[in-house]
Amino acid sequence: MRTEELGAAVVLSVTGEVDMATAPELEESIKAALGRGPEVLVVDLSGVSFLASAGMSVLIGGNQLAGDRTGFRLVATGSATLRPMELTGIATTFSIHATRDQALSGG
């Protein structure tokens, strides 16, 4: 997990597997990133090979915590991350982008 500041945006790059065991680490990283008060937080899931519902709960919580203060955006494509979010119907509650650049520039 890596956090970068790009102007008014913070990008959190997540790699590996997000399951019951690792979801708390993602939660801490998202909270820490939101604590910096960025205009935009991009959570880049491009490097995630497995996303369980425990991880999705953390993303839903992050989106709620961001509220109106920070734009909460995800980078997710493909069967490991986007498909599970679509199947549970939560994909529509997020701002999801195919690439990090699109997430940084898109609203």
Partner 1 sequence: MNQGQRQLDDVQEGDLHVRVPAVAGRLTGLRHVLAEWAERAGLAPEDREALTLASYEAMANSVEHAYVGQLQGVLDLRAVRDHAERRVVVTVTDYGQWKQPPADPGTRGRGLPLIRGLTPDSAIAPSAGGTTVSMCWPLPD
Contacts with partner 1 by CB under 8 A lie at 17, 19-21, 50, 52-54, 56-57, 60-61, 64, 79-80, 84, 87-90
For residues 27 and 44, which CB has a smaller minimum distance to partner 1 in the complex? 27
Closest approach of partner 1 to the CB of residue 87, in Å? 3
Closest approach of partner 1 to the CB of residue 32, in Å? 18
- Candidates 37, 54, 42, 39; CA nearest to 14 is 42
CB 43 within 8 A of CB 15: no
For residues 54 and 98, which CB has a smaller minimum distance to partner 1 in the complex? 54
In angstroms, the CA 12 to CA 99 distance is 13
For residues 36 and 50, which CB has a smaller minimum distance to partner 1 in the complex? 50
In angstroms, the CA 20 to CA 94 distance is 21
For residues 65 and 104, which CB has a smaller minimum distance to partner 1 in the complex? 65
Closest approach of partner 1 to the CB of residue 10, in Å? 21
> What is the secondary structure of 11-36 as a DSSP string?
EEEEEEEESTTTHHHHHHHHHHHHHT
